């Protein structure tokens, strides 16, 4: 193609991907000056003429006939090999049977042979009729306009990067003539536009990169989430200490009952009584969405005090899905792509969060079932199958906590009512192997504190209500030792002495 412009002859540029892009067409025209060449764009798009269709039908029929003949030869060859194997079987004498038994078997065998021969004859006639039946195209094959090639014209990666810029050529681009050989220019433009829109719904954006806006929002979320887990751990520790102190106070109350009565009288006593009532809150009866401060519902305890591993996981995924949808819209910047197909979720999730996502980790079989767990944050459109965010882009972060707490309460009520299906069956990460002291000597037994559910059970880790939230799926967990992943409060364990 480099020397083609120097040759004074007719030249056909059959470059499918380049010919469909205006920028590439301009580059190609620049190589063939108008003074030396008549530059013509030939567009074959839409419904082809009858002659082309007939040629395609003939080719399809020829392929089908060839395939039928091939299958027939293979069957004949298989039958021939089967007969040869029978002839090669070694002769074996059977002396253990007496003559009467042989005669009886021979008589029964002759009768069975007659029946078998008759059956084979009928089956053979049916097989011959089936094989002699002429090969014809089905109605679906007759409706085909083009043959399906086993090798695509473009690789999937090239198509994904280029198809959004496809357009039909125009005379204004510098062509001397634009020739539409199948259907008119307007019809071809409409066909190509619909094809591009359909592929935008189904093709992944391979070269998409997370923007600075996404990274800022994601960093902010991780910071706030860590603070919440730390708050839960501190609140549980304070609750534990309060119980210990309460036992000591009970003993003192028995000795100073009269003094307490005197202290409760008058104005000061009334204030203390009012304060005690204010601190006495039925947390389970509290309306979740009326809470102003999720870090203190009125008794010093956070709204998320009862969160366990599954709740922290669902809270994180609520926001991750929410942020992913809006980040995709911003980064793609294409009004024709308001979202992405559910089948591409794992690709984009890994692209943005650098970790894998598998619905089976959460005890469900597909994306729709998983979205039912976070229906207040994300959903799959029934018509387009696009993943959509339910809440507005600027939704306050504490609202994700409120929805998670509401879901936790509803789940617990169903479990208390005997609904076993309400139990979540998440796959938890396996605990890491025990640490070893320097020199290869195994350390002492790990200490497990009594902090909240925000941390792992691990050597040197903070306490947990069993286990805390997992490390990002598909990546290594957090560093061992110190506080756990969820901000547990316990100290590290000392290694054993060698």
- Average pLDDT on 120-139 reads 63
Residue 466, SS3 per DSSP: coil
Q: What pLDDT does residue 10 have? A: 86
Tell me the pTM.
0.64
Residue 120, SS3 per DSSP: helix
Residue 458, SS3 per DSSP: coil
∠302-303-309 over CA atoms, to 5°?
95
- Average pLDDT on 381-400 reads 93
Gap between the Cα atoms of 399 and 235, Å rounded: 21
**Is the pLDDT reported for residue 420 higher than 50?**
yes
Q: What pLDDT does residue 100 have? A: 55
Q: What pLDDT does residue 249 have? A: 62
Please tell me what DSSP assigns to residue 380: E
**Is the pLDDT reported for residue 156 higher than 80?**
yes
159-163, 297-301, 410-414, 454-458, range with the lowest pLDDT: 454-458
Backbone angles phi, psi at 392, to 5 degrees: -60, 160
Residue with tokens 């003949």: 69
pLDDT digits 0-9 by tens, 169-186 = 998 999 999 999 999 999
187 class by beta-carbon count within 10 Å (0-12 exposed, 13-18 middle, 19+ buried): middle
Q: Report which of residues 190 and 83 the model is more confident about.
A: 190
Contact 230, 453 (CB under 8 A): no
Gap between the Cα atoms of 400 and 189, Å rounded: 45
Q: What pLDDT does residue 479 have? A: 40
Q: What pLDDT does residue 345 have? A: 95
pLDDT digits 0-9 by tens, 15-28 = 889 999 999 999 98
Gap between the Cα atoms of 466 and 25, Å rounded: 64
**Is the pLDDT reported for residue 433 higher than 80?**
no
**Is the pLDDT reported for residue 400 higher than 90?**
yes
Q: What residues does 315 pair with on adjacent strands?
A: none
Q: Report which of residues 107 and 381 the model is more confident about.
A: 381
Q: What pLDDT does residue 474 have? A: 46
User: Where on the phi/psi map is residue 178: left (φ > 0), alpha (ψ -120 to 50), or beta?
Assistant: beta
Q: What pLDDT does residue 138 have? A: 84
Residue 387, SS3 per DSSP: strand
Q: Report which of residues 36 and 473 the model is more confident about.
A: 36
pLDDT digits 0-9 by tens, 282-317 = 777 789 999 999 999 888 899 999 999 999 999 999
**Is the pLDDT reported for residue 167 higher than 70?**
yes
In the chain, % of residues over pLDDT 90: 39
> Domain-by-domain residue ranges, the chain?
15-48+146-202, 304-437+445-493
Q: What pLDDT does residue 446 have? A: 45
pLDDT digits 0-9 by tens, 233-283 = 999 998 888 887 766 666 666 666 656 555 554 445 454 544 444 456 777
Q: Quote the crossing angle between the two packed helices 257-264 and 266-279, to the nearest 10°.
A: 100
Gap between the Cα atoms of 219 and 222, Å rounded: 5
DSSP secondary structure, 269-323, as one string: HHHHHHHHHHH---GGGS-GGG-S-TT-SSSS--TTTT--HHHHHHHHHHHHHHH
Q: Report which of residues 458 and 173 the model is more confident about.
A: 173
Q: What pLDDT does residue 464 have? A: 41
Three-state SS string over 13-74 comes to: CCCHHHHCEHHHHHHHHHCCCCCCCCCEEEECCCCCCHHHHHHHHHHHHHHHHHHHHHHHHH
Q: What pLDDT does residue 9 have? A: 78
Mean of the per-residue pLDDT values for the chain? Answer: 78
Please tell me what DSSP assigns to residue 441: P
Gap between the Cα atoms of 188 and 13, Å rounded: 20
pLDDT bracket for residue 203 (50, 70, 90): confident
Q: Report which of residues 331 and 481 the model is more confident about.
A: 331
- Average pLDDT on 197-216 reads 90
Q: Report which of residues 87 and 352 the model is more confident about.
A: 352
**Is the pLDDT reported for residue 353 higher than 60?**
yes
Of 102-111, 282-291, 363-372, highest mean pLDDT: 363-372
Backbone angles phi, psi at 492, to 5 degrees: -75, 155
- Average pLDDT on 92-99 reads 50
Sign of CA dihedral 248, 253, 255, 256: positive
Nearby residues of 411 by Cβ (< 8 Å), 6 or more positions away:
422, 424
Q: What pLDDT does residue 453 have? A: 38
Q: What pLDDT does residue 134 have? A: 83
DSSP secondary structure, 175-238, as one string: -SEEEESSS-HHHHHHHHHHHHHHHHHHS--TT----HHHHHHHHHHHHHHHHHHHHHHHHHHH
Q: Look up residue 219 and give its two tokens.
A: 């960093």
């Amino acid at each position: 193609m480099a020397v083609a412009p120097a040759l004074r002859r007719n030249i056909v540029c059959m470059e499918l991907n380049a010919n469909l892009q205006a920028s590439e067409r301009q580059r190609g025209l620049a190589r063939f000056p108008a003074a030396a060449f008549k530059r013509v764009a030939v567009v074959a798009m839409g419904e082809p003429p009858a002659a082309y269709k007939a040629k395609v039908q003939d080719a399809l029929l020829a392929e089908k006939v060839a395939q039928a003949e091939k299958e027939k030869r293979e069957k004949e060859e298989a039958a021939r090999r089967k007969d040869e194997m029978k002839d090669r079987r070694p002769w074996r004498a059977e002396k253990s049977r007496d003559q009467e038994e042989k005669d009886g078997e021979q008589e029964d065998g002759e009768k069975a042979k007659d029946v078998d021969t008759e059956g084979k004859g009928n089956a053979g006639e049916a097989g011959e009729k089936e094989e002699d039946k002429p090969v014809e195209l089905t109605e679906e094959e007759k409706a085909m306009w083009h043959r399906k090639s086993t090798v695509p014209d473009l690789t999937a990666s090239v198509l994904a990067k280029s198809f959004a810029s496809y357009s039909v050529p125009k005379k204004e681009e510098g062509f001397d003539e634009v020739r539409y050989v199948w259907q008119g220019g307007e019809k071809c433009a409409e066909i190509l536009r619909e094809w591009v829109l359909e592929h935008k719904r189904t093709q992944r954006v391979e070269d998409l990169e997370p923007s600075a806006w996404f990274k800022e929002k994601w960093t902010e979320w991780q910071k706030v989430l860590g603070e919440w887990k730390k708050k839960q751990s501190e609140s549980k520790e304070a609750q534990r200490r309060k119980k210990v102190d309460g036992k000591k106070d009970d003993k003192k109350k028995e000795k100073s009952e009269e003094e307490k009565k005197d202290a409760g009288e008058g104005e000061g006593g009334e204030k203390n009584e009012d304060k005690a009532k204010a601190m006495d809150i039925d947390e389970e009866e509290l309306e979740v969405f009326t809470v102003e401060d999720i870090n203190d519902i009125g008794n010093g305890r956070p709204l998320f005090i009862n969160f366990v591993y599954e709740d922290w996981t669902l809270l994180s995924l609520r926001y991750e899905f929410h942020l992913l949808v809006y980040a995709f819209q911003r980064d793609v910047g294409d009004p024709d792509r308001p979202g992405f197909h559910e089948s591409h979720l794992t690709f984009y999730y890994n692209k943005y969060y650098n970790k894998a996502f598998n619905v089976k980790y959460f005890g469900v079989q597909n994306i729709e079932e998983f979205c039912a767990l976070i229906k207040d944050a994300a959903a799959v459109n029934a018509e387009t199958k696009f993943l959509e965010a339910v809440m507005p882009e600027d939704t306050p972060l504490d609202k994700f906590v409120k929805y998670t707490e509401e879901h936790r309460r509803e789940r617990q009520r169903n479990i208390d009512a005997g609904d076993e299906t309400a139990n979540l069956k998440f796959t938890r990460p396996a605990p890491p192997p025990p640490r070893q002291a320097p020199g290869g000597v195994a350390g002492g037994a790990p200490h497990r504190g009594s902090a909240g559910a925000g941390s792992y059970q691990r050597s040197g880790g903070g306490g947990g209500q069993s286990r805390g939230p997992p490390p990002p799926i598909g990546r290594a967990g957090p560093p061992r030792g110190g506080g756990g992943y969820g901000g547990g409060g316990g100290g590290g364990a000392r290694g054993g002495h060698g």
